[in-house]
Amino acid sequence: MGKKKFKTEVDQLLHLLIHSLYSHSEIFLRELISNSSDALDKLKYLTVADESYKNITFEPRVDIILDEENHKVLTLSDNGIGMNDKDLEESLGTIARSGTKNFLNQLSGDEVKDSNLIGQFGVGFYSVFMVADKVEVLTRKAGEEKGWSWTSDGKSGYTLVEKEKESHGTTVILHLNEKGSEYDNRWQLEQITKKYSNHIAFPIFLHYESKSFEGEGDDKKEIKEDKVEQINSASALWKRSKSELKDEDYNEFYKTITGDSEEPMFKLHTRAEGTNEYTTLFYVPKKAPMDMFYADYKPGVKLYVRRVFITDDEKELLPTYLRFMKGVIDSEDLPLNVSREILQQNKVMSNIKTASVKKILSELKKFSGDAEKYKEFIDQYNRPLKEGVYSDFANKDDLLELVRYKSTKVEGWTSLAECKDRMQVDQKGIYFITGDNESMLRNSPLLEAYKSKDIEVLIMDDEIDEIVAPMISTYKEIELKAINKSGAMDDLKTEDDEKKETEIKPLLEKIKTALGDAVKDVVASSRLHDSPSCIVVDENDPTAQMQQMLRQMGQTEMPEVKPILEINPDHDIVKKMDGSSDEDLIKDASQLLFDQAMMVEGMDLKDPAEFAKRLNRVMSKAL
């Protein structure tokens, strides 16, 4: 096959790794061991679940070999599943996941100083080029006869050729550069392995040359001896008792399975016995995974059956809205040969999933008691939780205790429970306003009546709120009401408001005639104090923002939803219009009131040029 070029995105990644993550070079060993562990997991599963692999002699292990004669060479080998030529090209010649490509396109070397990049996108192999100026991967796939060699300097592409290899597995040979020479050291390799990979579930052996001296004086001789030592604990941490584990044990294991350089925000270790026997160990990262909102996000939970790895690519192990969770599920009851299709319909797995979600939400509720720490969680994961409110009806009540919103009453985040506690004695509902711009929402004329009566309004400026908020409907028997809907003000309407509406009814009719079919209705407003007009939608119609979202989602053939224009009877402009006999002026003023109300809500004017002409005419008459 010969010489080949890297794909463009690999060139980008190598540049970022070498120039921006240089100080994190030790993670190359963590990433190579992690890759070996994955390869061993896959073959271990096949030897118990697939008849064609059951005759393979397999004692899983990872070997790190120091070349004492040539101090520039470091070798890491495993006897896992191995790769063929196609696997090598897909794994080491390109980055298949579109999310990675999209992310890399948004970055430059100066912006990336965080080694999390590597673990986030599963491209850790390329970190070897921080410490080596030449790398050879010699590999043979289990069950196949041909071996393959992949060689690269990390700059000019790679060479892929057929090469004999005695057994299945993968050997990575690093020709260390000046930076990498610091890892040509037994103590350094052992320390890094214990730091990042102590809890890899397979033994890791370090091969090195031991030197000692015998005799004294002129008879003193140097004795060299080849030694092999296991340098990790090789135990499944999640199966150990919580009482014997320290925070540092949990944190090291988290870093091993995620590639994250930071400690987790939150952990949850559970062992269930009874009808279903299983163990779970879940973590919440301090920072949301960078691919959290990509359609091809990488699931963070690994499934084991009796310590045998089954899959780390199953998105159904937890609900989609908990896709940020990392960790392990280990079942004693599932069959080892469980397929993806069976997994999705399996009653045992369904029970584990249901119980795990309940436990996670329950523990997050406890975690929310620490306001400062919970704010860090909400800053990262509020939106996925809102997805859960929409999609997980069974856990909706628990999720409503966890989501947070901004408010006209308090700084920062607030809960629905806190908002309910602050309600006025005669308040009829919890009020909210949705949109995509916090500043615009806080200055909306729709808030005027609520501010004047000191009534709290929740500010929902996440676009997902447009979809989720209407689904909440009630919180502990208190109705949630959108103030950009026509019916929300019915609670605050007084006899005086009704009287004013009767008095300016003739003007309302004139305005409605002037605007024609641009509006659904024109009514007197009881919500406005300082502004002359605002727009709302009918109680059963989607808001302007929702209409815009639906169009972006491809629903171009939906019927046009017309807004309701509300007029402030107490405003000077409206009073002057009511007393004017100039029909042309009333017509222009009516359109201007409508246009400015649309602009305040962030809507585009259909005809800006006509708006300017109309404004000029009115200004000319006023002057």
Q: What is the pLDDT of residue 485?
A: 83
Q: Tell me the CB-side half-sphere exposure of residue 577, using CA atoms within 13 A.
A: 30
Q: What is the pLDDT of residue 98?
A: 43
Please say if the pLDDT value at position 423 is more than 70. yes
Provide the residue type at 420 as one letter.
K
pTM for this structure? 0.72
Q: What mean pLDDT is reported for the chain?
A: 86
Q: What is the pLDDT of residue 57?
A: 83
Percent of the chain past pLDDT 70, that is, above it, reads 87
Q: What is the pLDDT of residue 40?
A: 93
Confidence band, pLDDT 50/70/90 cuts, at residue 119: very low
Q: What is the pLDDT of residue 120?
A: 46
**Residue of 429 and 97 predicted with greater confidence:** 429
Q: Which of 97-101, 128-132, 167-171 has the lowest average pLDDT?
A: 97-101
495-622: CATH, from 1.20.120.790, 1.10.3720.10, 1.10.10.10, 1.20.1440.230? 1.20.120.790
Q: What is the pLDDT of residue 93?
A: 61
Please say if the pLDDT value at position 308 is more than 90. no
Provide the residue type at 234 as one letter.
A
Q: Which two tokens stand for residue 28?
A: 């190359």
Q: What is the pLDDT of residue 465?
A: 92
Residue whose entry in the numeric block shows the structure tokens 């009514």? 523
Q: Which of 275, 257, 397 is nearest to 329 (CA)?
A: 257
In angstroms, the CA 209 to CA 223 distance is 10
Where exactly does CATH 3.30.565.10 map onto the chain?
2-216
Percent of the chain past pLDDT 90, that is, above it, reads 47
Q: What is the pLDDT of residue 258?
A: 86
Q: Is the separation of the CB atoms in 287 and 380 below 8 Å?
A: yes
Q: What is the pLDDT of residue 115?
A: 44
Spatial strand order of the sheet with 147-152 comes to 2-4, 158-162, 147-152, 132-140, 169-176, 73-78, 62-66, 204-214, 221-230
Where exactly does CATH 3.40.50.11260 map onto the chain?
399-491
Q: What is the pLDDT of residue 545?
A: 66
SS3 536: strand
Q: Is the domain 237-367 a CATH 3.30.1490.100 member?
A: no
In angstroms, the CA 2 to CA 151 distance is 10
* Mean pLDDT across 58-64: 94
Where exactly does CATH 3.30.230.80 map onto the chain?
237-367
SS3 546: helix
Question: Other C-beta atoms within 10 Å of 358: how many?
Answer: 13
Confidence band, pLDDT 50/70/90 cuts, at residue 111: very low
2-216: CATH, from 3.30.565.10, 3.40.50.10310, 3.20.20.60, 3.40.50.300? 3.30.565.10
Q: What is the pLDDT of residue 68?
A: 66
In angstroms, the CA 489 to CA 428 distance is 10
Per-residue pLDDT tens over the stretch 458-517: 999 998 998 898 889 899 999 999 998 877 777 777 788 888 888 899 999 999 999 999
Per-residue pLDDT tens over the stretch 363-414: 999 999 999 999 999 999 999 999 999 999 999 999 999 999 999 999 999 9
Please say if the pLDDT value at position 553 is more than 80. no
Q: Which of 445, 438, 519, 435 is nearest to 489 (CA)?
A: 445
Q: What is the pLDDT of residue 543?
A: 67
**Residue of 304 and 13 predicted with greater confidence:** 304
SS3 167: coil
Q: Which of 71-85, 541-555, 573-587 has the lowest average pLDDT?
A: 541-555
Q: Is the domain 399-491 a CATH 3.40.50.11260 member?
A: yes
Q: What is the pLDDT of residue 116?
A: 47
Please say if the pLDDT value at position 312 is more than 60. yes
Please say if the pLDDT value at position 547 is more than 70. no
Rg (CA), the chain: 33
* Mean pLDDT across 170-193: 92
Q: What is the pLDDT of residue 548?
A: 64
Q: What is the pLDDT of residue 123?
A: 55
* Mean pLDDT across 599-623: 85
**Residue of 489 and 546 predicted with greater confidence:** 489
Q: Is the separation of the CB atoms in 148 and 83 below 8 Å?
A: yes
Where exactly does CATH 1.20.120.790 map onto the chain?
495-622
Q: What is the pLDDT of residue 110?
A: 44
